[in-house]
Amino acid sequence: MSKKIAFIGAGSFGFTRSLVRDILTYPALQDCTIALMDIDEERLGYIKKAVEKIIEAGNYPAKVIATTDRAEALKGADGVICTILVGGVHVWRHDIEIPKKYGVDINVGDTRGPAGIFRALRTIPVMLDICRDIERYCPDAILLNYTNPMAMLCRAMQGETKVKVTGLCHSVQGTAEMLASWIGAPIEEITYVCAGINHQAWFLEFKWNGKDAYPLIREAVQRPEIYNQEQVRNEMFLHLGYYVTESSGHNSEYNAWFRKRPDLIEKYCTHGTGWNPGEYAYILKEYLRREDTWRDEIKKWLEQDTVDLKRGKEYAAGILNAVIGDGTLYKFNGNVRNFGLIDNLPEGCCVEVPVLASKYGFEPIHVGPLPPHLAILNNINAMCEELAVEGALTGDPTKIYQAIYFDPLTSAVLSLAEIKQMVREMFEVNKDWLPQFKHFC
């Protein structure tokens, strides 16, 4: 029997296109129905054309429907993929610009800290509505979430609903490939154990053909051309002894070491690190540029004569094939609640650990304790996320102030009174997006 896979937030053109391509590489899913849902009809029209182009190029028996009605997309679905953004760039730009005014220099702002927390406050109610629709229209479906802030959204959904949900990020496999390339190892010969929290998980083991490869990585990062690719993460590795997931631009925000003074930003966060994490507004400028160019980029892709049908590196398709396809076991790193998984992180918080997908669903794998010094940093961030989620669910602004009081970067820059003033200003500019809060003090 053919399966139905729903994309909520399908207007994320590049991402949806790539995931559909990957899904259709699995024979058991090639006759599926792809249900595309987005509130933006123009984007929805473009992505429907793109999916049709992929289906035609692969001569697949798949079908595609497009709708602005979430219920229609979800009815009878076996799998759901979520890639939504609540509020456009003109809303979330304040997440970056207001902290910057107070001296908290944020680069990306989609995961944690003041920017990530306010993105979570806007997004959690919508994600819970999506989950309630899944419970109503396709209660047996699995939900794969790609929307950030990953940990806080998954923690809310997993705590408040019965939906079988996990959160997916490409930072684990992406970092593994980067490290393999640095030591000249084929990725097929690399094995690893990676665990922690989203965007701040650690490679507890990294082996090449069964042998510890960390000595080779230590040698590699001594070379300037390697060190300068990821200055923040390489500096963390040299001092902490374990490699962390997600890019230097992101990781520079999640601790107190790199962005609290202009001289440190200049030294560690400005040169040769890809997404220029030294420029707080880089991601903002990039998204503002896309506001003007996305139609041209989509049309250019649609006009191409050929379509690359080679499977990519994202987890989603392999998971769907394991659970609703041919049942082939699939191991990935997913975001789940910490019930007996990482011994020295808070019980019930959202952690990123190895998970096994099969026809039985998701089976997270026990990792044990993290090295104590890594657990310190993860604990601070995880507890701030726990407070923020609790505040989002209860409409208690005090929890939000408290979560940001203890954020590592914010607390390294501002006093308690200054943080309260900053957060109050962020509440005020976001008030139309935060119906769960009746007051902000």
Give me the long-range contacts of 268-272 (CB less than 8 A, separation at least 24). Answer: 268/231, 268/232, 268/235, 269/107, 269/231, 269/232, 271/228, 271/231, 272/228, 272/229, 272/231
Contact 97, 240 (CB under 8 A): no
Taking a C-beta distance cutoff of 8 angstroms, is the pair 371, 354 a contact? no
**Residue 65, class by beta-carbon neighbours within 10 Å (0-12 exposed, 13-18 middle, 19+ buried)?**
middle
**Residue 314 CB partners (closer than 8 Å, separation 6+):** 18, 19, 22, 168, 170
Q: Which two tokens stand for residue 283?
A: 């991601």
CA distances from 276 to 106, 228, 265, 271, 361 (A): 12, 11, 10, 7, 39
Amino acid present at 162: K
- Whole-angstrom CA distances from 282 to 92, 97, 341, 384, 407 are 14, 12, 36, 25, 22
| Residue 255, CB-side half-sphere exposure with 13 Å CA sphere | 22
Distance (Å, whole) CA 83 – CA 12? 7
Cβ–Cβ under 8 Å, residues 121 and 430: yes
CB atoms within 10 A of CB 47: 26
Q: How far apart are CA 235 and CA 22, in angstroms?
A: 35
Q: Return d(Cα 440, Cα 44) in angstroms, integer.
A: 36
**Residue 255 identity (one-letter amino acid):** N
170 is catalytic: yes
Give whole-number Cα distances, 75 to 140, 141, 142, in Å.
11, 10, 13
Alpha-carbon gap, residue 66 to 46, rounded angstroms: 10
User: Out of 170, 271, 373, 439, which one is annotated catalytic?
Assistant: 170
In the structure encoding, which two tokens stand for residue 80, read together? 């759901």
DSSP 54-69: HHHHHT---EEEEES-
169 is in an annotated binding site: yes
Token pair recorded at residue 357: 């997908």
437-to-163, 417, 427 alpha-carbon distances in Å: 25, 21, 9
Quick one: tokens of 367?
A: 């990792």
Binding site per annotation, positions for substrate: 148
Indicate the annotated binding residues for Mn(2+): 169, 199
What residues are annotated to the active site?
A: 170
Residue set of the binding site: 148, 169, 199
